Amino acid sequence: MKYYNIIQENYTVKRLRLPLETDILIDISDPIYTFDEVLGSVDLRKYLISDFKDPRGRVGYNPINLLKVILLGFMMNGYVSLRELEDLCKTNIRYMWLLRDEDDYPSHQTFGNFMNLHLKDNIENIFRDINNYIFIKDKVDLKNLYIDGTKLEASSNKYTWVWKKACLTSRDRLYKKITLTLETINNELLILESHRYGIREIYEIDYLEDMFSDYIKRFNVDVNTFVYKQGKRKTAIQCHYDNLNDYLNKLKEYATKIEVCGTHRNSYSKTDKDATFMRIKTDYMGNDQLLPAYNYQVGVCDEYIAVCDVNQYASDQDCFIPLMNKYKELYNIYPEKAIGDAGYGSYNNYLFCDANNIEKYMKFTMYKKEMTDEKYRDDIFRAVNFKRDIDNDLICPNNKKFKFSYTKSVRGNKFGRTEEYYQCEDCTGCPLRELCHKQSGNRIVKVNEELTSFHEEVIDNLESTKGALLRMNRSIQVEGVFGTIKYNRFYKRIVRKNLDSVKLEIFMVSIGFNLMKYHNKKRRLTC
């Protein structure tokens, strides 16, 4: 009777059940088998340190298993946190199956150390090797590259902005304050003309530091004698010392902020200095907000992400060439055709395509208006519609010649783009003047014949039967990728900070997308 009571007290419905083998419990069509097929066919060990050990001296886990667990998490979940990975290893049968050779389950610290040690420098190579296997198996056509970009909010405070233009304006005001202070010192404290401080329009930090040190020595400044309490009166030497010290610190602050922005950015966030403030659509109505973000660029081939990149540029135009160069690094060739929306159509990008034998299927800014608005397209007063005479001079609708005036470089253009300016020989008494232009004097037009020829070529490409099919396919493929990542896999905001960590995260998200896409396409073929 006593033995029976012991059994009853310790009985639980969660008793041991058979079978114990995990292979039996996992369905044959489960994504884990597709995942194991791909990862088992790729040589990952060359990117991993074989003797990976925990920093605290414990016996390390197999790095191959750790990498598989991480990539499986991104394949199944879209994005997975390190703590969630730790929990999945203990509760999810797929992860148990991957870690069947391990005696224990890794912690989130182990995953974090592993990613910092192995993946930051090798994730692009791993992405390439996985893609090469999938593309061979699925016979992916790499000739047509459909490109697009989306802005993902960064993991930073949206109110901690720094604007480069504001820093430059404040620095100019600071220069004027420094000048006033130096003039006061020269007039009030220095008698000899030869001992006076030099006045400049722009003050370098080194110059101001030397002058500040000289000021301390010349007037025997002792900060211990300074007074700051209410009712105390500062001496002139103390006032100038405090002002110069504040100006020097401010000048260093502005210099640091301007340096962080660099030449290609106009802003950054204080909590993630690599994030740039961009306009992001935040609701279904298309309303946007100015938020710290990164520009996530993808190139899609046959529904797979063939290439991806993360940029700090707000404009897609500046992201095209880096994306193409990254494609070349991955596959040793450029795509035959680049298909993109109006965000990529620029003189620089067209010139790059010409230099690398890439067919241009990227719309330019006024493409839609050019195709739909006949009044705009056929406007006889547009310079591109002017006729030319035998001498190749432009002829306006009133049969007046436009003579070449000068050539001017386009401001900020990295490729040396120039525009030619032509001036009408005489607009006096022209009956079409009100319709032609409103400026005083003779009309001046700017012409870039090379850019005009690029636009004509792009229109011919896009309006052809092949171009119409490519445009339709682009909207399906690349927009479908972003729709799946954002709304089906719930990845709308970047988790990590700093550009290197963000690139690691983006590439893992892209790898996870490709693995799941390969599994779904494989399953459809076998059904």
> DSSP per residue over 383-410, as a string?
GGG-EE-TT--EE-TTS-EEEEEEEEEP
| Per-residue pLDDT, 448 | 84
Give the closest residue to 67 by CA, choosing from 117, 132, 128. 117
Average pLDDT over residues 361-378: 90
| Per-residue pLDDT, 16 | 56
| Per-residue pLDDT, 31 | 94
> Residues 252-287: pLDDT tens digits?
999 999 999 998 899 999 999 999 999 998 777 778
pLDDT at residue 61 above 90?
no
CA dist., res. 279 & res. 22, Å (int):
48
| Per-residue pLDDT, 189 | 79
From its phi and psi, is residue 392 left (phi > 0), alpha (psi between -120 and 50) or beta?
Answer: left
| Per-residue pLDDT, 304 | 97
Query: Can you give the residue ranges of every domain in the chain?
Result: 162-268, 379-456
Please give the residue that has the higher pLDDT: either 439 or 33.
Answer: 33
The C-alpha R_g of the chain, in whole angstroms, comes to 33
pTM score, two decimals?
A: 0.88
| Per-residue pLDDT, 59 | 64
Q: Where are the beta strands (DSSP E) in 184-275?
A: 267-269
Please give the residue that has the higher pLDDT: either 38 or 431.
Answer: 38
| Per-residue pLDDT, 435 | 85
pLDDT at residue 324 above 70?
yes
What lies within 8 Å, CB to CB, of 5 at 6+ separation is: none
Give the closest residue to 254 by CA, choosing from 210, 205, 293. 205
Q: Model confidence at 161, in pLDDT bands (50, 70, 90)?
A: very high
| Per-residue pLDDT, 211 | 92
> Residues 133-149: pLDDT tens digits?
999 999 999 999 999 99
Q: Which of 46-60, 152-166, 389-403 has the highest mean pLDDT?
A: 152-166
| Per-residue pLDDT, 452 | 87
| Per-residue pLDDT, 9 | 60
468 close to 474: Cβ distance less than 8 angstroms? no
CA dist., res. 252 & res. 204, Å (int):
9
Least confident range from 11-15, 224-228, 259-263, 345-349: namely: 11-15
What lies within 8 Å, CB to CB, of 163 at 6+ separation is: 266, 267
> Average per-residue pLDDT in the chain?
88
Q: Model confidence at 419, in pLDDT bands (50, 70, 90)?
A: confident
Structure tokens that stand for 361 in this block = 């299927």
